[in-house]
Amino acid sequence: MRIKFASIQNAGKFAYVYDNSENWESRAPVSQCFKMYQTYNDGLTQHSGDWAITNEYVIDYLASLATYIISRQPDTRSEDDNGLLQRLTYELLRAPCVASIEFAASVIFKSSGEGSSYEKKTRYYSTSEKKITTTPSKYHDKRYSQVTASEDGSAGAIYRMLLPEYANDLERLTYAEAIREWCLAGGEKRPYIPLVAEFLEWYKDDPNRRQKAQDLRHALSACQSLARAYQLRCHAETDLSNIRQAPAETEASESAA
């Protein structure tokens, strides 16, 4: 599946592509599927090869993608449009669940004494098992890590514990946003976390970094809302389909009786 769509901020210069074919770039910084190309002010006509976007273009890419999806009416979407939405429900909603975030927040280092970098009794934790233990054999269990001073219950600690080892920038973004939503939902009882672009230190040298951080939040939220809306529509269609089948099944049962 390969879908082209226009850029909002760079119209006339670039256009974007969502491409989940086998022509992937293993080192794509944001996503293997998020690409762009030059148009030389010729609509969506491609005048260069594709290249993977960097986080410099994430805001425009996501905002342009959301605009494209909104322009495609549900009843007239092509097979590729629906395929795109299916993929986005996976890529943009991929994040730790509340239970995982709460477990990570509960793993807090307890110093054996003032200034000590060791606990009284060494502990190990597993985010996959959601367990904390003092069992020495867990030192050799790859599912477990030793509790250290870096596990302090902060948003940064939660993020480091839950983020997949080989995460790309899109995963970093969605994981950070999920953790931010959890932190904000608990008010002052939960750790402080800034906007995700600031948390991830994207655009930190840009004089407009605060505005960019806001824009990124809105662009990501727009795409995630559309992905969730697609999920809900599919659930609704499945439910209605089941209702339509019920009378036929009842009639068949009555006839057999």
Q: What is the pLDDT of residues 107-148, one digit of tens each?
A: 999 988 877 888 989 999 999 999 999 999 999 999 999 999
Cβ atoms of 92 and 98 within 8 Å: the answer is no
Contacts 24+ apart (CB under 8 A), 11-20: 12/39, 12/41, 13/38, 13/39, 13/40, 13/41, 14/38, 14/39, 14/57, 15/39, 15/44, 15/46, 16/53, 16/61, 16/64, 16/65, 17/50, 18/65, 18/84, 18/87, 19/50, 20/87
Give the pLDDT band of residue 29 (cuts 50, 70, 90).
very high
- Residue 77: the pLDDT is 82
Query: Quick one: pLDDT at residue 242?
Result: 87
Q: Tell me the three state secondary structure of residue 145.
A: strand
- Full-model pTM: 0.89
**pLDDT of 26 over the 70 cut:** no
Q: Which residue has the higher pLDDT, 78 or 256?
A: 78
Q: What are phi and psi of 85, to 5 degrees?
A: -65, -35
At residue 9 the predicted structure's pLDDT band, cuts being 50, 70 and 90, is very high
Reply yes or no on whether the pLDDT at 252 is more than 60: no
Whether the CA torsion 241, 247, 248, 253 is positive or negative: it is positive
The answer to which of 34-38, 54-58, 245-249 has the lowest mean pLDDT is 245-249
- pLDDT of 183 > 80? The answer is yes
Residue showing tokens 């425009």: 60
